[in-house]
Chains A and B, each alone.
Chain A
């Protein structure tokens, strides 16, 4: 049985206790997107402000949820703020690959070959940094959805920004 320290790394608890970029932005101009985890009732509200050059100028996080969903959202906000949409998407792919690599390992499939339709192919150049602290989440499969909620919501927001422009 994996221990709690695998799940609740100190940096995760830090982001949970002191969430970054918490709040709201006027919308418009910011784009507002909501994500729900119907299993547990967690919800994330993202406010994303993208400038004409495709750079995420500002980003705020609202909503409520468990330490994993909230810390993941906090770390995500810190990681993508100031990045271009393309960079944010690359980071999202890398993060989701971190989550799904272990999912496939848990199912006994060994290393992923990237051929699965749901398996994002990470760019080896993308560095996850602090976000790697969340990799312990995959030892607790029911919590993976908590960790990926804010990233799915970001993807949804960026898709909608893209469609609107």
Chain B
């Protein structure tokens, strides 16, 4: 594995060049929200619209067939990226939120009854909480929670008891607030031992680590394009073919049916059964190219690079900002990704990010769509810096400088 050449990677991203040409500092530390896009992705989508666009699935004419072929080729590319056994197991959705709503709305509605048990964790994004709560209001099952310890990892001491009688365990593969990566295979195996299916929200995982859905062992895995160099508007749900086959359709409409009569319908087979309406065609093509780019960088190299930058960040920020700084999350050598949730000198995260913006440092402030976790941490909000392929130690230094300037400003 060769190390990631960040200087070369940065040249792949037009937005970096754009800000440099304007003479503006651009320290983008918000990839956990959404990554920037390389030129190859932008160009592939433009080229598709300029040469090939037509609707998929129903066209006989040449460009419609070509659009269809490229859309399905994108599905195969994404399948290969996460080592899915079959492209029929790759469902394109709008985002992870829609993918998890599909899981709750299709699998959950078909399989959960009053008195059943759903297990989630306290560090879930709202998109892996609210779809279950919506269904809970309609059906009346119980939701149990795996808690977060003071060390910012999942408390698994009562795992077996918590899972006892559960029908589903749905959990994040990497916290979007803490960076915590739980023991995925252990959780999946425990769920299966209890007779539950395992669902993984891999939104923060797939962009950063080599991903093999078969090795993960779960039944359903959701991730999204725009956090992994791809465009917005496309998410992915991978599922075991037999499980997806048995699930009823989620959204109804064109594209997902084999037959419609006045007295009913017959759904299409996989994967189209779950892709009602005109799908995100250009976005799928863009996502496939994002997979190409990430594989060109090498996911092992991407992960090693992020671990290095994260370790440097934890060391540097702690050293330069001292006790005034709180980093919510596991230590550098723990099971964690490149997401740092910060508290600094009681300055509200909104004020921190406002001042950081003056230095061109882009970090996110707020509850990060994880209000139960915020309550657990005892804070209303954090300032969150997150790293990706185009970030390096110079960005960390700029963040530390900006935080010190922030302290000067308010005190």
**How many of B's residues come within 8 Å of A, CB to CB?**
17
Whether A65 sits at the interface, judged by CB under 8 Å, is yes
Interchain pairs with CB closer than 8 A, number: 48
Q: How many angstroms between the C-alpha atoms of A40 and B371 in the bound complex?
A: 10
CB distance from A1 to the nearest CB of B (A): 8
- Once A4-B409, A7-B354 are accepted as A-B contacts, the answer to whether A43 and B380 lie under 8 Å apart by CB is yes
**How many of A's residues come within 8 Å of B, CB to CB?**
19
Indicate with 1 or 0, residue by residue over A125-148, a CB within 8 angstroms of chain B CB atoms. 000000000000000100100100
Contacting pair B410 A4 (CB below 8 A): no
Residues of chain A within 8 A of B393, CB atoms compared? none
Contacting pair B374 A67 (CB below 8 A): no
CB distance from B24 to the nearest CB of A (A): 9
Indicate with 1 or 0, residue by residue over B346-379, a CB within 8 angstroms of chain A CB atoms. 0111110011001000000111000100100000
Indicate with 1 or 0, residue by residue over A56-76, a CB within 8 angstroms of chain B CB atoms. 000000001111101000000
CB distance from A7 to the nearest CB of B (A): 7
Contacting pair A41 B380 (CB below 8 A): yes
**Contacting residue for B366 out of A4, A41, A143, CB 8 A:** A41
Residues of chain A within 8 A of B348, CB atoms compared? 64-67, 70
**Contacting residue for A41 out of B351, B355, B381, B409, CB 8 A:** B381
Contacting pair A42 B354 (CB below 8 A): no
Contacting pair B367 A40 (CB below 8 A): yes
Indicate with 1 or 0, residue by residue over B376-411, a CB within 8 angstroms of chain A CB atoms. 000011000000000000000000000000000110
Q: How many angstroms between the C-alpha atoms of A13 and B366 in the bound complex?
A: 21
Residues of chain B within 8 A of A8, CB atoms compared? 351, 409
Which residues of chain B in 222-261 are interfacial with respect to chain A, using CB atoms and an 8 Å cutoff? Answer: none
Whether A164 sits at the interface, judged by CB under 8 Å, is no
Residues of chain B within 8 A of A7, CB atoms compared? 354
Residues of chain B within 8 A of A65, CB atoms compared? 348, 350, 380
Contacting pair B351 A66 (CB below 8 A): yes
CB distance from B360 to the nearest CB of A (A): 10
Residues of chain A within 8 A of B366, CB atoms compared? 39-41
Residues of chain A within 8 A of B354, CB atoms compared? 4, 7, 140, 143
Residues of chain A within 8 A of B347, CB atoms compared? 67
Which residues of chain B in 49-69 are interfacial with respect to chain A, using CB atoms and an 8 Å cutoff? Answer: none
Q: How many angstroms between the C-alpha atoms of A16 and B66 in the bound complex?
A: 61
- Once A4-B355, A64-B380, A140-B354 are accepted as A-B contacts, the answer to whether A40 and B409 lie under 8 Å apart by CB is no
Contacting pair A67 B410 (CB below 8 A): yes
Residues of chain A within 8 A of B351, CB atoms compared? 8, 66-68
Nearest residue (CB) in B for A43 is B380
Contacting pair A41 B358 (CB below 8 A): no
Most chain A CB neighbours (cut-off 10 Å) among B351, B355, B358, B410: B351
Indicate with 1 or 0, residue by residue over A21-52, a CB within 8 angstroms of chain B CB atoms. 00000000000000000011111000000000
Nearest residue (CB) in A for B374 is A41
Q: How many angstroms between the C-alpha atoms of A84 and B381 in the bound complex?
A: 35
Q: How many angstroms between the C-alpha atoms of A4 and B374 in the bound complex?
A: 28
Residues of chain A within 8 A of B350, CB atoms compared? 40, 42, 65-68, 143, 146
28 contacts between A and B (CB under 8 A): A4-B354, A4-B355, A4-B409, A7-B354, A8-B351, A8-B409, A13-B410, A39-B366, A40-B349, A40-B350, A40-B367, A40-B380, A41-B366, A41-B367, A41-B371, A41-B374, A41-B381, A42-B380, A43-B380, A64-B380, A65-B380, A66-B349, A66-B351, A67-B350, A67-B410, A68-B350, A140-B354, A146-B350
Q: A4-B355, A64-B348, A68-B350 are in contact. List 8 more A-B contacts (CB 8 A).
A: A4-B358, A7-B354, A8-B409, A40-B367, A42-B350, A66-B349, A66-B351, A140-B354
- Which 3 pairs, one residue from A and one from B, show the smallest C-beta to C-beta distance? A66-B348, A66-B350, A41-B380
Residue ranges of B at the interface with A (Cβ–Cβ < 8 Å): 347-351, 354-355, 358, 365-367, 371, 374, 380-381, 409-410
